[in-house]
Structure formats: C-alpha cells, structure tokens
Amino acid sequence: MSATIASLRESLCSETIPLPIRFRALFSLKHLAVQNKGTADSLSAIDAIAAAFASPSALLKHELAYCLGQTGSDAAIPHLTQVLEDLQEDPMCRHEAAEALGALGNAQSLGVLQKYLHREGEDVSVKETCEIAIDRIEWENSEERKQEKLRQSDFASVDPAPPMPEEDEKQTVETLEKKLLDTSLPLFKRYRAMFALRDLASPPDLPTAVPAILALAKGLKDESALFRHEIAFVFGQLSHPASIPALTEALSNLDEVSMVRHEAAEALGSLGDEEGVEETLLKFLHDKEKVVRESVIVALDMAEFEQSGQAEYALIPEVASKAS
C-alpha cells in the first residue's frame, strides 16, 4: 500500500478527525481507486474505503457506499453486499449499498438485490433501491442499451439510471416532467426522466435550465422518500441557484425524513457562495437528527470552499498535485 493511501485510510477511519477532512480523504481515495483501476493501489484504496464501514456515522457510511459504486471496480462488490445484508445497519446505508451495486452493473449482484426486494418487512427505501438497481443492471447488460443513443452528459457520475434515450421522441422539459411525475411508471423510467432533466439544466445558462429545475422541484412532493432524496442529490450536482427555494423548503421541513433533509443540506453546500445559503445551513447545525447535523457540517465546509475559489473540493493537496 502506498504511503498516500495509508495516510488517507488513517484519516478516513479516525473518529477524532473532523468529518469534513474525513470526507476529503474519502473522495481522494475514490479518485485514486478510479485513476489506478486494475492495479494494487486501486484495490488498496477500495479496501481503505471499506475499512471505514466500522464508523458509527450513517452519513459517512452512506458516502462510502456511494463512492465504492463510483469506482467501476468489481472488487467493491463483496464490501457493498455485506452492508446490504447487514440488517442492523442503517437503512440509508443499506439503500446506498444497493444503489452502488446497481451502478457497478454486474449481473452477479442480481440475486442479492432480488432477495432484499422481496424480503418481508424490508425498509421501503431499500426495496425501491433494489428494484431500480435490478432494472439498471438488466439495462446495462441488454441489447437495448447498445441500440440507445444517449445525450452526452456534463456529469461523470455513474447514476442509478441513465437518462432517457434521445430517440424517445423530441425530449422537452414538458414531456420529461410528465414521465418524472407519472407514478404509474416504474421508478427506473422515472429516474431516467429525472437524469434527462438534469442534463437539460446544464450548463446553467441553457434556455431549458430553469424550466428543468422547476420541473425537478415538483418531484420533491413525491410520495417516495427515495425519489425525493434523489431529486435533492441531482440539485447538488447542478448547483443551480434556481433550486435554492425548493432545497431550503425540504431542509426546513422538520416532518421530512432525514434521508431527504440531509441530501438537501449537502446540495445547499454546493451553492455556498449564493446569498443566504450559509445562513440557512447554520440554522440546522444543532438539528435533532444526527445525519442532518453532520450533513450541515460537511455542507458548511463545502460552502467555505465554494467561496474560496479552490480548484477541487474532493482532493487533498497531495492527491490533487498528482491528479493534475
């Protein structure tokens, strides 16, 4: 294991180090896992990320699972499967592990995902995530995928669902909004509309950007907490000021589930240089929900970074210099 990975692992796994620094160590390890894919360093970085599942922080563990899903490496599958199978684990972490298995797209995960989709008494967000992950893996390995023409996205993330294919009629904000809000459609299809709308909102000066944001914001009223949390995540990716009112409302609603509120807080963190955002976040620094409090701490760190104009939030300087 390289000295850099060993040092990052130590920071990530230490409960005495402030959460924002642990998040930066995590994103740096993910970067190393992706950059060095197929090497011993990549495997060491994946093992280092997985070692932090011993943490009591649900927020951190859910982020670990997300990052493992973004590595594109099958070496992450056993770690993620173990989290999904641990019924004592926070459902937010188990859902993220299922989503990450979907992102990795390996058909060997279908069995475990089917198991928890159909498990008696399973948390609804875990069930819904398993449903979407199964559909994503089946799509990933299908002939249909090879035929589809997907619009080039500005986002490098591996998403729970691909955007709607371009040949699905002329995509307008209106047609995509209809699909987004149509609860008779499978979640996977609705997610495809969600990510197509995201892509119509980037770059932010596109004429479709604000209408797409307003269409997405309607999804924050959906019955599914999983769906609402994904809308907040997309808003965090877009960092568009037009999403601030909807995100502020979601975070401020104390009856909203913490899975959605914490995602809204982190999304606001990506908009930290916009007027009033930092003040909003500060109001929830002592929230009753631990995952919201921790998200606000991370979001305020992101907000400070946004105002500082540094190049890359995710990377600590040593890794950033090697990445450039």
Tokens 């972490």 correspond to 93
- Cα distances (angstroms) measured from residue 90 to each of 15, 95, 232: 18, 9, 20
Number of neighbouring beta carbons within 10 Å of residue 128: 19
**In degrees, to the nearest 5, what angle opens at C-alpha 72 toward C-alphas 171 and 195?**
20
Is 140 among the annotated ligand-binding positions? no
63 belongs to an annotated ligand binding site: yes
Query: Annotation-wise, does 262 bind a ligand?
Result: yes
Q: Is 95 annotated as a binding residue?
A: yes
Establish whether 229 is an annotated binding residue: yes
- ∠ CA 263-317-23, rounded to 5°: 25
Q: Under a CB-based contact definition with an 8 Å cutoff, are residues 231 and 215 in contact? A: no
Are 105 and 116 in contact by the 8 Å Cβ rule? The answer is no
Distances from the Cα of 113 to the Cα of 76, 127, 132, 227, 229, angstroms: 15, 9, 10, 18, 20
96 is in an annotated binding site: yes
230 marked among binding-site residues: yes
List CB contacts of 81: < 8 A, sequence separation 6 or more: 97, 101, 109, 112
Query: CA dihedral defined by 262, 264, 269, 273, rounded to 10 degrees?
Result: -160
**Which runs of consecutive H residues, i.e. helices, occur in the chain?**
3-13, 19-35, 40-51, 58-70, 77-85, 91-104, 110-117, 124-140, 143-147, 173-181, 187-200, 209-218, 225-238, 244-252, 258-269, 277-282, 290-308, 317-323
Tell whether residue 240 is among the known ligand binding residues.
no
Q: 255: closest CA among 219, 210, 302, 292? A: 292
> Which parts are annotated binding residues?
62-63, 95-96, 229-230, 262-263
Annotated binding site for Fe cation: 62-63, 95-96, 229-230, 262-263
